[in-house]
């Protein structure tokens, strides 16, 4: 007989047993209640996304996807590049333009090895200025279960570095083009932006003729490097950039611009401006915008270039309603007590004039404020919805950050704090990501959320970065970046944890088994409703774009390999795949379709 004095203990034991039984892949002694509660909260969200399909697209050569978007009819447009000489489903591919494939004996092989700074042989980077590269577009059927249409540029015509699918199905594409690009355009009107007049320094002050001649030659070499043709094995080909509009049926170019000498595409992102007749913003040797009808290209729009987040002040985004744009990042200041990396975020109008600034306090004010919010902090991404609300992501090196307060008032906290339920207490040195919702017209900070992980054994906060963000039609955010051990994952995550997750501090001990896990991730979060719709590590994947599908879903475009390269390895996700195996080369294109579970 069991005494009544032990019954409460037994009940508690049974309750814990039931709770642990429902937690994924961790033994009882490995579970931190903090990690457990955060994971359960994410997994209990009734509006989660699940993997409907995941597939490769590749051959033994090298392929990638740079963009994917779902259309209203259920099909998915995926856009990428192939380095050749082979191409998937070549027998059913429609070729655009007329180029030629340069033999590998004439140009470097994509599998070539080079020495790094330490003298080790590593694969040479795949170049987007490689003459053979071919940009392609795939139209997938519903749920990625068929390839309904496949078109590509002929070898040696053009690549596709950035793309945007318009509401009517037309596609704006931009990339690098050779002289053969004209053969792909048909009767489309083509305009050209000439090479800008190079700035030459006045060298007359150099009195020595030999030194002046050497300086002039160095200057001309630099000008040729920046604006001249690109050479492969002493053979020149065009270094131009193009931007063009392709019809929804993928058959007709409506217009094209050739940007002479603008050999760089600075990001695979494009931004759509709905107002003022419609524009598309892209980066090519600075920020450009082009009218959707192709009638005008504004070479003076924007300031600076699209740089890497975390490196000074960069172009961060566009207000789609009016074309205002945002520059931000962080600057080195001093609070009067210590050095401080201060966030900066400035909105500019269409005349490149500053309209307003966020986080612009004098640094000593922050340093002497009673809150002492002096963790190094920087702005990283900005997106604006149709109602004017700004989504802002920030980085900080701790939770004691100005990212947690109103961007124009140190004393005002947001209406909702910790909107995703992830708290920062007990953190060691780490990188913290913040998600903020703010309205610049009303000065209202609606919410703030930490985006972090928790170590499964100890519950200690762990680092998660946000490298890119897209605002989806349903008000949620698609984000990607890198995560250390402890990313809070949802039910259909692609990475199963090992049974033993060690304290992060022990991972650096030589005799500790390397059972921690970190790497790229994909997530869809809805901070406005306090929910994580999807979150998972992305083994083997290099995420390029997260696109909307049917308003509530998401498609993940990447290039991928077979697995995450660890021992033991975790394979790259495939499910209901048209191509279930990695085909070889340096990379294959890879797509994942995420949708809510049908009732």
Contact 152, 87 (CB under 8 A): yes
pLDDT value of residue 505: 41
Tell me the mean pLDDT in the region 357-377: 89
Tokens of 486: 């402890």
Tell me the mean pLDDT in the region 374-383: 94
pLDDT value of residue 310: 62
User: pLDDT tier at 220 (50, 70, 90 boundaries)?
Assistant: confident
Tell me the mean pLDDT in the region 154-159: 92
Residue 499 pLDDT exceeds 50: no
pLDDT value of residue 370: 74
Query: CA 281 to CA 270: how far, in whole Å?
Result: 6
pLDDT value of residue 172: 97
Tell me the mean pLDDT in the region 373-400: 91
CB atoms within 10 A of CB 254: 15
Tell me the mean pLDDT in the region 235-257: 88
Residue 223 pLDDT exceeds 80: no
Tokens of 291: 């009218």
Query: CA 160 to CA 178: how far, in whole Å?
Result: 12
- What string of H, E and C letters represents the secondary structure of 288-311? EEEECCCCCEECCCCCCCCCCCCC
pLDDT per position as a tens digit, 396-452: 998 889 999 999 999 899 988 888 989 888 777 789 999 999 999 999 999 999 999
Mean pLDDT of the chain: 85
- Residues 6 or more apart whose CB falls under 8 angstroms from that of 124 comprise 108, 110, 112, 113, 114
Query: CA 203 to CA 212: how far, in whole Å?
Result: 7
Residue 514 pLDDT exceeds 50: no
- Residues 6 or more apart whose CB falls under 8 angstroms from that of 569 comprise 539, 563
Tell me the mean pLDDT in the region 15-34: 51
pLDDT value of residue 587: 95
Most confident range (mean pLDDT) of 29-33, 275-279, 576-580 is 576-580
- What string of H, E and C letters represents the secondary structure of 22-85? CCCCCCHHHCCHHHHHHHHHHHCCCCCEEEEEEEEECCCCCEEEEEEEECCCCCEEEEEEECCC
pLDDT value of residue 24: 46
Residue tagged 């000439």 (tokens) = 194
Residue 233 pLDDT exceeds 60: no
pLDDT per position as a tens digit, 161-190: 999 999 999 999 999 998 899 999 999 999
pLDDT value of residue 286: 83
304-339 residues labelled b (16+ CB within 10 A) or e (exposed): eebbebeeebbbbbbbbeebbbbbbbbeebebeeee
User: pLDDT tier at 111 (50, 70, 90 boundaries)?
Assistant: low
Residue 234 pLDDT exceeds 60: no
Residue 512 pLDDT exceeds 60: no
Rg of the chain over all Cα atoms, to the nearest angstrom: 26
- Residues 6 or more apart whose CB falls under 8 angstroms from that of 439 comprise 388, 389, 390, 446
Contact 175, 258 (CB under 8 A): no
Question: What number of CA atoms fall less than 13 Å from residue 120's CA on the CB side?
Answer: 3
CB atoms within 10 A of CB 443: 13
CB atoms within 10 A of CB 414: 19
User: pLDDT tier at 1 (50, 70, 90 boundaries)?
Assistant: very low
Residue 124 pLDDT exceeds 80: no
pLDDT over 70 percentage in the chain: 86
């Amino acid at each position: 007989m069991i005494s009544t004095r032990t019954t409460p203990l037994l009940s508690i034991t049974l309750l814990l047993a039931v709770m642990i039984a429902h937690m994924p892949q961790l033994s009882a002694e490995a579970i931190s209640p903090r990690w457990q509660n955060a994971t359960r909260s994410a997994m209990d969200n009734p509006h989660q996304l699940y993997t409907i399909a995941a597939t490769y697209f590749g051959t033994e050569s090298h392929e990638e996807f740079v963009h994917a978007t779902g259309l209203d009819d259920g099909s998915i447009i995926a856009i990428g590049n192939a380095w050749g000489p082979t191409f998937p489903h070549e027998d059913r591919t429609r070729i655009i333009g007329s180029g030629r494939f340069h033999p590998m004996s004439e140009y470097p092989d994509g599998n070539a090895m080079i020495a790094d700074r330490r003298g080790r042989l590593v694969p040479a980077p795949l170049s987007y200025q490689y003459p053979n590269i071919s940009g392609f577009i795939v139209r997938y059927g519903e749920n990625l279960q068929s390839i309904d249409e496949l078109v590509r540029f002929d070898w040696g015509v053009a690549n596709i570095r950035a793309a945007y699918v318009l509401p009517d199905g037309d596609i704006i594409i931009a990339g690098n083009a050779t002289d053969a690009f004209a053969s792909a355009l048909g009767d489309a009107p083509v305009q050209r932006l000439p090479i800008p007049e190079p700035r030459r320094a006045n060298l007359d002050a150099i009195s020595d003729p030999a030194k002046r001649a050497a300086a002039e030659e160095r200057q001309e070499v630099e000008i040729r490097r920046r604006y001249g043709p690109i050479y492969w094995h002493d053979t020149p080909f065009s270094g131009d950039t193009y931007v063009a509009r392709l019809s929804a049926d993928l058959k007709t170019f409506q217009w094209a611009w050739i940007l002479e000498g603008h050999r760089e595409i600075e990001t695979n992102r494009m931004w759509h401006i709905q107002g003022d007749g419609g524009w598309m913003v892209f980066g090519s040797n600075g920020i450009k915008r082009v009218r959707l009808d192709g009638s005008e290209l504004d070479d003076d729009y924007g300031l600076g270039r699209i740089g890497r987040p975390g490196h000074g002040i960069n172009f961060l985004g566009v207000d789609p309603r009016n074309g205002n744009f945002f520059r931000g990042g962080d600057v080195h200041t001093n609070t009067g007590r210590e050095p401080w990396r201060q966030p900066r975020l400035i909105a500019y109008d269409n005349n490149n004039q500053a309209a307003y600034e966020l986080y612009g306090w004098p640094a000593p004010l922050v340093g002497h404020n009673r809150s002492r919010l002096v963790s190094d902090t920087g702005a990283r991404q900005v997106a604006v919805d149709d109602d004017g609300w700004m989504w802002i992501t920030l980085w900080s090196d701790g939770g004691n950050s100005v990212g947690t307060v109103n961007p124009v008032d140190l004393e005002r906290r947001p209406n909702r704090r910790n909107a995703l339920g992830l708290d920062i207490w007990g953190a060691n040195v780490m990188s913290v990501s913040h998600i903020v919702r703010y309205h610049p017209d009303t000065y209202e900070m609606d919410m703030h959320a930490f985006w972090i992980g928790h170590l499964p054994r100890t519950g200690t906060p762990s680092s998660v970065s946000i490298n890119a963000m897209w605002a989806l039609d349903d008000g949620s955010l698609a984000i990607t970046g890198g995560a250390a051990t402890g990313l809070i994952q949802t039910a259909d995550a692609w990475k199963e944890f090992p049974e033993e997750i060690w304290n992060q501090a022990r991972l650096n001990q030589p005799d500790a088994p390397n059972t921690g896990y970190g790497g790229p991730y994909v997530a869809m979060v809805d901070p406005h409703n306090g929910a994580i719709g999807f979150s998972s590590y992305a083994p083997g994947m290099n995420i390029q774009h997260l696109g909307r599908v049917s308003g509530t879903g998401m498609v993940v475009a990447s290039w991928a390999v077979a697995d995450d390269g660890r021992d033991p390895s975790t394979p790259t996700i495939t499910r209901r795949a048209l191509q279930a195996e990695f085909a070889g080369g340096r990379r294959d294109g890879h797509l994942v379709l995420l949708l809510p579970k049908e009732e």
